[in-house]
Amino acid sequence: MRILWVTAQVLPEVANLIGSKKSNFGGWVTTMLDQLKNEENIEIGVVMCANIEYIVSEKIDEITYYIIPMVKSNKDVSIDSCEKIVELFNPDLIHIEGTEFSIQNRFAKIGGIKNVVSLQGILSGYEPYQYGQLPISDMLFSSKFFELSSAWVMLLKKHFLFNKRIQIEHDTIRNAKNILGRTYWDRAHSYWINKDVGYFSCNRILRKSFYNQNWVYEKCEKHSIFVGNGYAALKGIHFVIEAVNLLKFEYEEIKLYVAGISHESISGKNFKKKLGYAYYIRSLIKKLKLEKYIIFTGELDEINMRDRLLKCNTYVLPSLIENSPNTLGEAMIMGVPCVSSYTGGASQMAKDEDEVLFYRANDPKLLAWQIKRVFESEELANDLSINAKKHAEITHDPKRNLQALLDAYSKILE
CA distances from 401 to 90, 119, 206, 394, 395 (A): 26, 15, 10, 9, 8
Domains of the chain: 2-131+161-205+398-412 (3.40.50.2000), 208-395 (3.40.50.2000)
Cβ-in-10-Å burial (0-12, 13-18, 19+) of 256 comes to buried
Of 235, 180, 206, 233, nearest in space to 326 by CA: 206
Task: Please tell me the predicted confidence (pLDDT) of residue 163.
Answer: 87
- Kindly report the pTM of this predicted structure: 0.93
Of 3, 4, 8, 5, nearest in space to 102 by CA: 8
For 13-32, what is the mean pLDDT?
87
Task: Quickly list H helices, 291-377.
Answer: 302-311, 326-333, 364-376
Cβ-in-10-Å burial (0-12, 13-18, 19+) of 231 comes to middle
Which helix H or strand E contains 265, and what residues bound it? helix 263-267
For 144-170, what is the mean pLDDT?
80
Percent of the chain with pLDDT strictly greater than 90: 81
Spatial distance between the Cα atoms of 348 and 345, rounded to a whole number of angstroms:
6
Task: Please tell me the predicted confidence (pLDDT) of residue 266.
Answer: 66
Spatial distance between the Cα atoms of 173 and 115, rounded to a whole number of angstroms:
11
Spatial distance between the Cα atoms of 170 and 262, rounded to a whole number of angstroms:
33
Residue 349 has pLDDT above 70, yes or no: yes
For 44-59, what is the mean pLDDT?
95
Do the beta carbons of residue 367 and residue 243 sit within 8 Å? yes
Task: Please tell me the predicted confidence (pLDDT) of residue 136.
Answer: 73
For 261-277, what is the mean pLDDT?
65
What's the pLDDT tens digit per position in 362-371? 999 999 999 9
Describe the chain by its helix, strand, coil percentages, rounded to 5: 45, 20, 35
Spatial distance between the Cα atoms of 231 and 164, rounded to a whole number of angstroms:
20
What's the pLDDT tens digit per position in 111-152? 999 999 999 999 999 999 988 888 777 666 666 766 777 776
Residue type for 58, please? E
Task: Please tell me the predicted confidence (pLDDT) of residue 20.
Answer: 86
Residue 155 has pLDDT above 70, yes or no: yes
Do the beta carbons of residue 96 and residue 78 sit within 8 Å? no
Task: Return mean pLDDT, the chain.
Answer: 93
DSSP-assigned letter for residue 352? B
Cβ-in-10-Å burial (0-12, 13-18, 19+) of 287 comes to exposed
For 280-297, what is the mean pLDDT?
94
Handedness of CA 354, 358, 364, 365 (dihedral sign): negative
Do the beta carbons of residue 327 and residue 317 sit within 8 Å? yes
For 299-320, what is the mean pLDDT?
97
148 phi, psi to nearest 5 deg: -60, -45
Residue 239 has pLDDT above 70, yes or no: yes
Spatial distance between the Cα atoms of 69 and 54, rounded to a whole number of angstroms:
6
Task: Please tell me the predicted confidence (pLDDT) of residue 274.
Answer: 62
